[in-house]
Chain A
């Protein structure tokens, strides 16, 4: 007897149980009525629930699966239940390194300066946008590893907090 398969779908901090039943229908979380998923083309599905229908686009690997329906797009993590999820590739936005290659346009702090979580440490320019790098926590600036005008890459810390 083929058993149903259970998955955990995570979107940020929210986790939803999704069960693929033996009849092929899908139960999602505490939704009372099951869904039917029909493939239309590569990455394109028609999902129905009773009289409701959605066109859904899907692409990407299980741990970074992009889903779009009615103008809303999210990236979720799909794991069979019981397996611990692989670490998600989450964009670093509060860290001390550049989130993307960019040019340092302003350094707002100096070594020895006390900063609070959320303070702007420096500003980068990338893709014509100004990106502030903020302190992820309270602390004292112990080192600044970049200079205005410098092109920096993601990874190495630009500022160190003690």
Chain B
């Protein structure tokens, strides 16, 4: 069994993993950059090692320094969390050759899924549906037109060499094809110096539905149902839930089977997520393989809530060579769970990330609500890292009850000192489209979830004024402040 786990990460996910280790009686090691000295994740571990300055390339992304920290503290396993080195096949391989257990899949599985082209080929071979499309070897108009008809309409014609929408054309039918091909080729050549085109079926109003899979080294492989992550802005997930409002039992069974087949095809072990685009609703909906995330997901608590499983503890057991703690028939989805990601950002300014000090922090506490946070009052949100501060997970017997529980929890969540997306999350969860379960991945970016500017109750303005008064009066009358002004302890910040 593993005796000591080093977490090569920071923030809420590091704390989440330390909690699992504590419950398994495993020693813990945190690593931190200069920006994170004294951060909550450092205090949550038994040991802590400084690994470098604030920029991730010199700290949390430095495989050498992290392996050295593991050696110096005697850690026999490393959990990468998500982001940073979590999907770096070379890092997993370096752990393997250093005799340190990497709590995740084998490096070969990370590499196989890391390349979109090889992943797609593997999935096609395993019988997992992929979005129909190809880059024809013969790039003549006639050949591209034939490829387009094979993929089916509506479709996308795009530059094989790059992204960013350049050289991309939406073609709704045969009649638009003849004009679209030369236009896309010209644009692709201009933008990337390469006019090679790729044609792909356009998935209409796709939902993002992913399936949690888990496999062990003894041939055991299960899925832990789906998560719907359709509420996204700029391809970043904002709200996730399980079950998906769009998935029926028959569809769930098909997606689960396909996901286990996908994991088995790459010799997968440990926790992974197979992401799909879902077109349509109900038993007839079609799903297409998007990619596989070879790591623990940010949104794993949603699955933990509905299954009752502890995914991180299971990760550690499986990494230690033990069998999966569940057979497929042991697993049930019970009730409904929703997760909201709380970011330091200004949704009104194009989700501009915000940095600064948290002057006041009160997190919700109520039945059925879990908060995984990486910050506390007084924490500095740094420009160097992801601006996610916390995740709120509400679990209830029904989706409607989970929505009400989430609204209550978000209303209780108070973070002062920098703009957050809490008001935005409230508006989205309370929106008619979300309540109806009718949100696709373009919902936020197309502005269909337009938000009203927040209006603060007059009562809050009254308190804002009294706070000033109280602080001033306290400062004048008594040195022992009746109402300590948090500002007073923040000398040097204002300039």
Mark A residues whose CB is within 8 Å of B.
5, 7, 9, 11, 16, 18, 20, 26, 28-29, 31, 35, 37, 39, 42-45, 47, 49, 52, 54, 56-62, 65-76, 78, 91, 93, 99-102, 126-132
Contacts and interface: CB of A to CB of B under 8 A. Distances in A.
Given A71-B422, A91-B346, A78 B465 contact: yes
A70 B486 CA distance: 22
Nearest to B456: A74
Given A29-B458, A70-B457, A128 B386 contact: yes
A137 to B, nearest CB: 18
Contacts of B407: 71
A69 B417 CA distance: 14
Contacts, number: 174
Contacts of A29: 458, 461
A59 B359 contact: yes
A101 B384 CA distance: 9
Contact of B487 (A54, A60, A132): A60
B322 interface: no
A91 B352 contact: yes
Contacts of B458: 16, 28-29, 31, 35, 49
A31 B456 CA distance: 14
29 contacts: A18-B461, A18-B462, A28-B461, A39-B482, A42-B484, A45-B463, A47-B462, A47-B463, A49-B459, A56-B459, A57-B362, A57-B416, A59-B360, A60-B359, A61-B487, A61-B494, A65-B468, A67-B461, A69-B460, A69-B463, A71-B411, A71-B426, A72-B456, A73-B415, A91-B349, A100-B355, A127-B353, A127-B355, A129-B353
Contact of B463 (A16, A31, A37): A37
Contacts of B460: 47, 54, 56, 67-69, 72, 74
A58 B461 contact: no
B351 interface: yes
Given A28-B461, A68-B414, A74 B454 contact: yes
Nearest to B418: A66
B359 A71 contact: no
Contact of A67 (B355, B412, B464, B494): B464
Contact of A18 (B465, B483, B487): B465
B96 interface: no
A141 B456 CA distance: 40
Given A20-B469, A61-B487, A101-B383, A54 B422 contact: no
Contacts of B412: 71
A43 B460 CA distance: 12
B387 to A, nearest CB: 5
A38 B140 CA distance: 76
B376 to A, nearest CB: 14
B350 interface: yes
B482 to A, nearest CB: 8
B353 A126 contact: yes
A102 to B, nearest CB: 8
B463 A56 contact: yes
A42 B426 CA distance: 26
Nearest to B484: A42
A105 to B, nearest CB: 10
B110 to A, nearest CB: 20
- Which of A49, A72, A130 is most buried by chain B, counting CB atoms within 10 A of its CB? A72
B410 interface: yes
Interface string B397-417: 000000000010011111111
A66 B360 CA distance: 9
Q: Give 8 closest A-B pairs by Cβ, nearest first.
A: A66-B416, A59-B359, A71-B411, A59-B360, A127-B353, A47-B459, A56-B463, A58-B467
B385 interface: yes
A52 B416 CA distance: 23
Given A58-B416, A91-B346, A127-B387, 5 more contacts: A9-B461, A71-B410, A72-B460, A99-B352, A127-B383
A109 B410 CA distance: 42
A140 B412 CA distance: 49
B154 interface: no
B464 A39 contact: no
A26 B411 CA distance: 24
A126 B56 CA distance: 12
Given A26-B465, A129-B351, A72 B423 contact: yes
